[in-house]
Structure 1
Amino acid sequence: MMLRELAPEYVKRVDAIGVSGHMLGCLPMDKDGQTLRPAMIHADTRALAISNALRARFGRDYFYEICGNVLSPASTLCKTLWLKENEPELYARTYRILQSKDYLVYRLTGHMETTDMSDASHGLLMNLETRQYDTEMFHNVGVDLDKFPQIHTSCEIAGRLSEEAAGCLGLRAGIPVSVGGGDGACANVGAGVAKPGDFYLSLGTTAWIAGQMDAPFIDPQHRVFHIYALDGHGCNVFGTEQCAGRSVSWAMDLFEVASARAFDSAAATAPAGAGGLIYLPYLEGERSPVFDAQAQGVFFGMNTTHKREHFLRAVLEGTACGLSQILDVMREKQQIEELRIIGGGAKSKLWKQIIADVCNVTLHDVSTFSDSATSLGAAAAAGVAIGLFGNLPEACSHIRMSGDIEPDLAVQEAYALTKKRYAMLYPSLKEAFHTRA
């Protein structure tokens, strides 16, 4: 449906178009602007053998030290090599390899010559120091640099809305279209993170803590990853917990809890520390800080005194302990005393209080709805591109915070013991995780 039919009162007021899309893509285009095959999306890991071969050849540190990200079969770099090795004729015909939002820019403007720093950095293509493609790395792995569009900030104009696209959308031709950014980077801005020192927690099915630093945090243990900021003025550092809200929904099914409210009511009756019961939220492996796909979920320390409410509270505390480990890594580089919070999990006052207590951090609710943070960030970048805002921090000044949650000092001793025992479990169980039938 055309925009003029959905919201006719706003059509004439559109001054710019912001663009975003999922990251880690690989869409080959020919010189005539035709797609050569279906896109490989972020979840596509067919390049596993490529990734393993690169790791064996260059070692585990080579790519991380250049790009700030762990070598992964999901990366655009590995997917491009997969194309070259498995579909060589198609690869030879490829003029540009685009990300999803770059393709949207092409459909809107007719130009496919731009990408941004967020997608280039996350795709294992960009040197974090130079903020350009790493020509030596491209040469070493055998990828053709000339198949990729030029890197810009997201806050620049990529082109203007074409007559054809304007007709399809019901807008006027000539509207500026920004370069755009990857969904993760745009969500940061939508949560109000736009300058060094700003950090936030997205508490959903998967949870992550992300924030902006002046410079990349090249961690020798590879516990965090990087996505460059939309405006190019800083680097977003991420740590992701694979199963946060997923752990809660799993426990609701397992213990037959009717609603999220009932879950919180029951969990609140158990004491801080859940009577010594510890939960590892590794239901689907874990990402930060262990990056182990074979890690498994665990309830540890069960005894006959534990009831349903202890297990439910342990799930909330275990996910909070995982987030605390991510935060502790980031605190090695940056002082962090407060987090903005978005996501479906932010509706739970109990879970937020537990996170504040376990992580020893103040949480601020944000006016942004979790499902609109990415769109809001893309719009902010477009606003900067046309001069509506002087910069991203000015744009983010319109995002309101409310409902501060402070850590409760009375439970710090109990949670210090919980975190200590939690931290001991993964190293003790790692060998068992990797010895499965």
Structure 2
Amino acid sequence: MHVIIGVDIGTSGTKAIAFTSSGSVTGNAYVSYNPLIGAPGYHELDPETLFNAVMTCIEQVVKGVSGNIAGISFSAAMHSLIAVDVNGEPLTNVITWADARSVEYAEALKQSPADKDIYRHTGTPVHPMSPLCKIMWLRNNQSHIFAVTHKFVSIKEFIFYRFFNQYLVDHSIASATGLFDIYTKTWYAPALQAAGINSDQLSEPVSPNYIIKGLEAKYAKQLGIDVAIPFVIGASDGCLANLGSNATRPGDLSVTIGTSGAVRMIASKPAYDKQERIFNYILTDELYVSGGAINNGVVLLKWYTEHFLKKPFSSGGDLSWFVQQADQVPAGADGLLFLPYILGERAPVWDATAKGVFIGVHSGHTQAHFMRAIIEGINYALYQVAASVQETVGTIQHIYASGGFINSPLWLQWLTDLFGKEINLINSDDASSVGAAILGFQALGIMQPNETTRIFHIQQQYNPNVTLHARYQQYYKVYAGLYNKLKDDFQALNNIRGSGL
């Protein structure tokens, strides 16, 4: 039986799985890591820590594989940036999607005539998350580093350079940079001009199905594999989550809630949104993924638990405990709504200066009400993005869930009640790493795209409560208007805070 090792390089940890051509996960490994302590708005990781995590995960999984390893295929978080020197050594840490230091440059670009053109061609809304804006910040704030940078790369590119001494970027990761034309699949000159760089300072774009062999001998020895084993460059974690959760047909919506969250739908072409609410990223040579990501997922439960409940938070038991406490109060939290923009927001508002708001507070509200409102605020945020996707891409017919929240049946049920549609839970150990493995099978010709559905089985199906759906819809109408009413106030508060007065 053929086995592909699927590797997913995330911002909180790296995971590797051994995935068989029959759809079974026969081994896995996980290494977690924490962001480096930095200035407010900074979110960085140590590139060496991530490289070592990838090595450790692959090595551990290889040791447990009894079948034939047909290849190793990769998923990675989007929007990361590392400046490297001529020897490939990092000049910066990994600047992640959550880093907001370039907000000033993103806002200026959004107000310029170039904004709509860059969004139309690159599919990436202008936002501090994108490498385009991060490079603009580096150029103006760390000119000594900018001047000696040989390449600007993502974490996957950094690792592949170590492995093969080549700078390669898959079209999927490239399409999330704000620098890549998703139609011509080449670097987009006006975006490069805005960043102040040229295409020679970026990696060579290749198909997500790209196969490379000739792993550096020292790494092959450490991993316990042959130097000739094929590596498939793969795609981005968000796009592969659709593939790994079987949300691959028109009308299939993937909903993911982990540290952050996202909703995505696959289409045969990009879906241009005049309001610039959604992204369009590349999954394969024939498929695009349209959708939107939110900054504020399970991280909000961690924030509230540590800062207000004064309890330690670790993903797992604390998540279940939090949801059970929130279940003590009814749907809608007795009129308490939460706009969950604690970390600013991406889709659909794309405003890094947005703030969190509790509204509707009255004397009858308890701790449990605030906890329920937080979870429901996350759900409303995703529902609002899903409405944008449905309006732009097409009608939602089936919903598939993935991410850490799937371990909470209560949370899944609440989301189902809000959407008013069945939500399916697939027998997927981890959607992005499974998606990477499936893409690897396809790239190597072991599995055809139309064969993937046979390996998925619905583990559980959640059905909506019609009464609660109607209640949630009433509350959502209020939620949906909050941002536009408050956005000017958010900016005013931001200005006052920044003035130091």
For residues 424 and 390 of structure 2, the distance between their equivalents in structure 1, rounded to whole angstroms, comes to 18
Q: What corresponds to 2:373 in structure 1?
A: 314
Of 192, 202, 225 in structure 2, the residue corresponding to residue 138 of structure 1 is 192
Shift of 1:123: 0.5
Trace 1:316-335 onto structure 2 (pairs within 5 A): 316-332=375-391, 333-335=393-395
1:175 aligns with 2:234: no
1:124 aligns with 2:178: yes
1:212 aligns with 2:266: yes
* Matched positions, count: 431
Equivalent AA in structure 1 for residue 340 of structure 2: P
Trace 1:147-296 onto structure 2 (pairs within 5 A): 147-229=201-283, 231-252=284-305, 254=308, 259-296=318-355
Mark the runs of 5 or more structure 1 residues left unpaired by the alignment.
Answer: none
Q: What corresponds to 1:381 in structure 2?
A: 439
Q: What corresponds to 1:349 in structure 2?
A: 409
Of 388, 392, 399 in structure 2, the residue corresponding to residue 339 of structure 1 is 399
For residues 9 and 289 of structure 1, the distance between their equivalents in structure 2, rounded to whole angstroms, comes to 43
For residues 443 and 483 of structure 2, the distance between their equivalents in structure 1, rounded to whole angstroms, comes to 46
Shift of 1:434: 2.5
CA contact (8 A) 1:101 1:180 kept: no
Shift of 1:249: 3.9
- 3-state SS of 1:316 partner: helix
Q: What corresponds to 2:472 in structure 1?
A: 415
Shift of 1:64: 1.0
CA, structure 1 residues 368+215, in 2 after alignment: closer, same or farther (shift >3 Å)? same
TM-score where L is the length of structure 1: 0.86
Deviates more, 1:74-83 or 1:168-177: 74-83
Q: What corresponds to 2:113 in structure 1?
A: 58
1:24 aligns with 2:79: yes
CA, structure 1 residues 311+37, in 2 after alignment: closer, same or farther (shift >3 Å)? closer
CA contact (8 A) 1:196 1:234 kept: no
Equivalent AA in structure 1 for residue 471 of structure 2: A
CA, structure 1 residues 34+4, in 2 after alignment: closer, same or farther (shift >3 Å)? closer
- 3-state SS of 2:439 partner: helix
Equivalent AA in structure 2 for residue 13 of structure 1: N
For residues 395 and 144 of structure 1, the distance between their equivalents in structure 2, rounded to whole angstroms, comes to 39
Shift of 1:26: 3.4
CA contact (8 A) 1:109 1:177 kept: no
Of 124, 128, 131 in structure 2, the residue corresponding to residue 69 of structure 1 is 124
- 3-state SS of 1:389 partner: coil
For residues 249 and 46 of structure 1, the distance between their equivalents in structure 2, rounded to whole angstroms, comes to 22
Equivalent AA in structure 2 for residue 138 of structure 1: L
Shift of 1:142: 4.2
- 3-state SS of 2:289 partner: strand
Percent identity between the aligned chains? 27
Mark the runs of 5 or more structure 2 residues left unpaired by the alignment.
Answer: 1-54, 312-316, 497-501
For residues 20 and 313 of structure 1, the distance between their equivalents in structure 2, rounded to whole angstroms, comes to 33
CA contact (8 A) 2:247 2:265 kept: yes
CA contact (8 A) 1:190 1:377 kept: yes
